[in-house]
Amino acid sequence: MQQQNKQDKFDHLRKEFNSFFYEGFDYEFLTDKLQIQFHFRVDNFVEFHPRVEIPHQSFLHHKHLTKDALDSLIFHIGMVEVISYWKAICPSKLVISDFYLNKEQVSFWKKIYFHGLGEFFYLNGIQTTQEDFMNIECVSRREVKAFSVEVDHGSIIPVGGGKDSVVSLELLKKRDGDNLALIMNPRGASSATANIAGFESKTIIINRFLDSKLLELNDKGYLNGHTPFSALLGFITILSAALAQKKHIALSNESSANEATVVGTDVNHQYSKSFEFETDFRNYVEHFISTDIKYFSLLRPISELQIASLFAKSPQYFYDFKSCNAGSKQNIWCGKCSKCLFTFIILSPFIPPEELKKIYGSNLLEDVELEVFFDELTGKADVKPFECVGTVEEVNVALCLSVALYENQTIPYLLKLFIESDLYNQCQSIDKLDLLKQIEKEHYLEPEFLNILLNKMKNFKTEKY
């Protein structure tokens, strides 16, 4: 993606529009679903009313939750939804009607908004600061307070349909306890992978509906860009855990998500998947929502390369998993984007080229048109793709390891470029076996979950490396 200079537009909009109002929300438990609607307004210019619906399931209940608890849970989902609509116009003031946020809470939300919009600011060429980009004011004096909820030791596993959530499903599907999957806006890959893992009748479905007026503003040239989707998922899973009375929420974010997308900056496409966000989020939930629900990433101690090695042990998912955003609506690998190329590369050491070619429809390392993305992924360019991809080092190690699989075969175009570059020589000095065994210490896994992961990693055979 190319940077644009929309600073003048940003400044003009902030002069024309003063305030974004989070006016409240409605929710109702109908016979077939929980229906939630949020109410946002920008001055007297436009109103937005996005919705979230959770279809009824036998394992979802609300009678054990007080109205105050439900109000708080839903209010926080709205606080993340705000940012998708705020970014179109970027008023300097956010006015909240239903709850009062103290200084610590305001600081938490400003940090999520600012860093979650880091890519948005960068690609639009907007210069601002965490202090100045937004002020938050509260009309109500109703405080956000933590509450208790009775939970069992089951887990909720959010499923996106990619290799990461597949690995989490495989790790936890036989765990003691009544574990559930969770899918937001189901598509072919997410539903299929959850079903293959045995969660067909044990999946929480979240249907999220954008207000069409936001899309109309986008068409008219108002500001647009990436928002912290995983932060929204985080607060929705907290509500889901409270309804399902589950103690654990096991995400599938890895250590690789901590690397900046733009070298030398804090701009990270995956900010809301980072360990920094996870730390802030857990602290906020513990202090202001509930100490009974534990949010963590099961895969945080390992890397994308290690995840790929584990995924390759589960061939039953090979033709159903998808990680391509461009092809998500058609449930296909588009074969032309950086995400497709990254997943192809990271799996290359562990799945034979012929098998990968069947999965993706072609050998992506042979595609000359993908060279620009290849340069971004391998670190030849200063900016990584604005996608959920692994570190530059992991990509280069995966390419090094995949060379051996082309013995007595024609080396594909992009791999040949890599072999002829200094990157290949530099990669030779990296202890590849160590990378595949390394366990990061920064994580929030309780001993039970850490042992599940470690036992799986011990069984990984690395002799050929």
C-alpha span between 253 and 233 (Å, rounded): 12
C-alpha span between 242 and 63 (Å, rounded): 11
pLDDT (tens digit, 0 to 9) for every residue of the chain, 465 residues total?
Answer: 667 899 999 999 999 999 999 999 999 999 999 999 999 999 999 999 999 999 999 999 999 999 999 999 999 999 999 999 999 999 999 999 999 999 999 999 999 999 999 999 999 999 999 999 999 999 999 999 999 999 999 999 999 999 999 999 999 998 877 899 999 999 999 999 999 999 999 999 999 999 999 999 999 999 999 999 999 999 999 999 999 999 999 999 999 889 999 988 999 999 999 999 999 999 999 999 999 999 999 999 999 999 999 999 999 999 999 999 888 889 999 999 999 999 999 999 999 999 999 999 999 999 999 999 999 999 999 899 999 899 999 999 999 999 989 888 899 999 999 999 988 888 887 887 788 888 999 999 999 999 999 999 886 654 444
- pLDDT (0 to 100) of residue 408: 82
**Cβ burial, residue 86 (10 Å; 0-12/13-18/19+):** buried
186 neighbors 310 (Cβ within 8 angstroms): no
- 412: which DSSP letter? P
C-alpha span between 400 and 423 (Å, rounded): 9
3-state secondary structure (DSSP) of residue 181: strand
Other C-beta atoms within 10 Å of 405: how many? Answer: 17
C-alpha span between 174 and 75 (Å, rounded): 34
- pLDDT (0 to 100) of residue 459: 65
C-alpha span between 112 and 84 (Å, rounded): 13
- pLDDT (0 to 100) of residue 465: 41
Contacts of 12 (CB under 8 A, 6+ apart): none
Domain ranges of the chain: 7-297, 322-430
Q: Positive or negative CA dihedral for 110, 115, 118, 120?
A: negative
390 neighbors 344 (Cβ within 8 angstroms): no
Mode of pairing for the β-strands spanning 152-158 and 246-251: parallel
Token pair belonging to 97: 């009607």
121 neighbors 228 (Cβ within 8 angstroms): no
| DSSP track, 25-63 | EEEEE-SSEEEEEEEEEETTTEEE--EEEEE--TT---T
Q: Positive or negative CA dihedral for 225, 230, 233, 235?
A: negative
- pLDDT (0 to 100) of residue 301: 96
C-alpha span between 299 and 306 (Å, rounded): 9
